[in-house]
Structure 1
Amino acid sequence: MLQEAAPRYRGHTSYSYLEPNLDYRVFELAPEVGRVPDYDLGLTEAQRQRAGRLLAENVVISLHEHPVVLPQDVSELRAYNRTARQHTAYAGLARSGLTAVFDNFMAGASCVTSENGWKWNDLIYALGMRLSDVAKQDYIVHATSLADIHAAKRAGQLALVAGLECSTPIENELDRIDILYGFGVRQLGIAYSQSNMLGGGLSEYSDGGLTHFGRRAVDRMNRLGIAIDISHSGDRTSLETIEASRVPVFITHAGSRTVWDIPRMKPDEVITACAERGGVIGIEAAPHTTLSVAHPEHSLESVMDHFVYCAELVGIDHVTFGPDTMFGDHVGVHQTYANNYAHDARPVPDHPRVPYVAGMENPAEAFNSVVGWLVKHDYSDDEIAKVIGGNAIRVLEQVW
Structure 2
Amino acid sequence: MIIDALQCGHFNRESFEALRRGGYSAVTPTLGFWEGTMESLDSLARWRDMERDNADLILIARTAADIERAEREGKLAVVLGYQNSNLFEDRIAFVEFFAELGVRVVQLTYNNQNELGGSCYEENDSGLARFGRDVVREMNRVGMLVDLSHVGDRTTLDAIEWSEKPVAITHANAASLFAHKRNKSDKVIKALAERGGVIGCVAYRNITPDAACATVDGWCEMVARTVDIAGIDHVGIGTDISHNHTPRDYDWMRKGRWTRSVQYGAGSPQRPGAVAKPEWLLKPESLQDVAPALLRVGFNQEEANKILRGNWLRLYAEVFRPN
State the TM-score, normalizing by the size of structure 1: 0.72
Match of 1:322 among 235, 238, 241: 238
- Conservation of the 8 A alpha-carbon contact between 1:325 and 1:361: no
Change in Cα spacing, 1:67 to 1:335, as seen in structure 2 (3 Å) is closer
Change in Cα spacing, 1:90 to 1:273, as seen in structure 2 (3 Å) is same
Change in Cα spacing, 1:272 to 1:209, as seen in structure 2 (3 Å) is same
> Quick one: which amino acid aligns to residue 135 of structure 1?
R
Q: In the alignment, is residue 144 of structure 1 matched against residue 62 of structure 2?
A: yes
Q: Which residue of 2 aligns with 1:308?
A: 224
Separation in 2, partners of 1:378, 1:345: 34
Q: Which residue of 2 aligns with 1:47?
A: none
- Conservation of the 8 A alpha-carbon contact between 2:111 and 2:265: no
Q: Which residue of 1 aligns with 2:42?
A: 125
Q: In the alignment, is residue 280 of structure 1 matched against residue 206 of structure 2?
A: no
Structure 1: 5+ residue stretches without partners: 1-54, 70-85, 109-116
Q: In the alignment, is residue 90 of structure 1 matched against residue 10 of structure 2?
A: no
Separation in 2, partners of 1:397, 1:225: 10
Q: Which residue of 2 aligns with 1:209?
A: 127
How big is the shift at 1:298?
Answer: 6.0
- Conservation of the 8 A alpha-carbon contact between 2:116 and 2:133: yes
Percent identity reads 30
Q: Which residue of 2 aligns with 1:25?
A: none
Separation in 2, partners of 1:166, 1:336: 13
Report which stretch shifted further, 341-350 or 193-202.
341-350
- Conservation of the 8 A alpha-carbon contact between 1:284 and 1:303: no
Separation in 1, partners of 2:14, 2:43: 11
How big is the shift at 1:145?
Answer: 0.7
Change in Cα spacing, 1:248 to 1:346, as seen in structure 2 (3 Å) is closer
Alignment of 1:169-248 (within 5 A): 169-248=87-166
Separation in 2, partners of 1:205, 1:345: 15
Change in Cα spacing, 1:370 to 1:297, as seen in structure 2 (3 Å) is closer
> Quick one: which amino acid aligns to residue 222 of structure 2?
H
Change in Cα spacing, 1:120 to 1:316, as seen in structure 2 (3 Å) is same
How big is the shift at 1:397?
Answer: 2.2
Q: Which residue of 2 aligns with 1:163?
A: 81
Q: Which residue of 1 aligns with 2:302?
A: 382
Q: Which residue of 1 aligns with 2:280?
A: 359
Match of 1:251 among 148, 169, 172: 169
How big is the shift at 1:320?
Answer: 0.5
Q: Which residue of 1 aligns with 2:4?
A: 62
Q: Which residue of 2 aligns with 1:260?
A: 178
> Quick one: which amino acid aligns to residue 100 of structure 1?
A
Structure 2: 5+ residue stretches without partners: none
Separation in 2, partners of 1:118, 1:233: 18
Separation in 1, partners of 2:14, 2:130: 37
Report Cα offsets for 1:195-230 as digits up to 9, x if no partner. Answer: 111111111111101000000001100111111100
> Quick one: which amino acid aligns to residue 301 of structure 2?
D
- Conservation of the 8 A alpha-carbon contact between 1:253 and 1:324: yes
> Quick one: which amino acid aligns to residue 38 of structure 2?
N
Match of 1:102 among 10, 28, 32: 28
Report Cα offsets for 1:39-80 as digits up to 9, x if no partner. Answer: xxxxxxxxxxxxxxxx4xxxx2111112634xxxxxxxxxxx
Separation in 1, partners of 2:275, 2:104: 33
Q: Which residue of 1 aligns with 2:312?
A: 392
- Partner of 2:312: helix, strand, or coil? helix
Separation in 1, partners of 2:155, 2:13: 34
RMSD over aligned CA atoms reads: 2.8
- Conservation of the 8 A alpha-carbon contact between 2:63 and 2:317: no
Q: In the alignment, is residue 372 of structure 1 matched against residue 258 of structure 2?
A: no
More helix by share: 2
Report which stretch shifted further, 134-143 or 337-346.
337-346
- Conservation of the 8 A alpha-carbon contact between 1:326 and 1:362: no
Report which stretch shifted further, 312-321 or 352-361.
352-361
Change in Cα spacing, 1:262 to 1:348, as seen in structure 2 (3 Å) is farther
State the TM-score, normalizing by the size of structure 2: 0.88
- Conservation of the 8 A alpha-carbon contact between 2:205 and 2:213: no
Change in Cα spacing, 1:316 to 1:331, as seen in structure 2 (3 Å) is farther
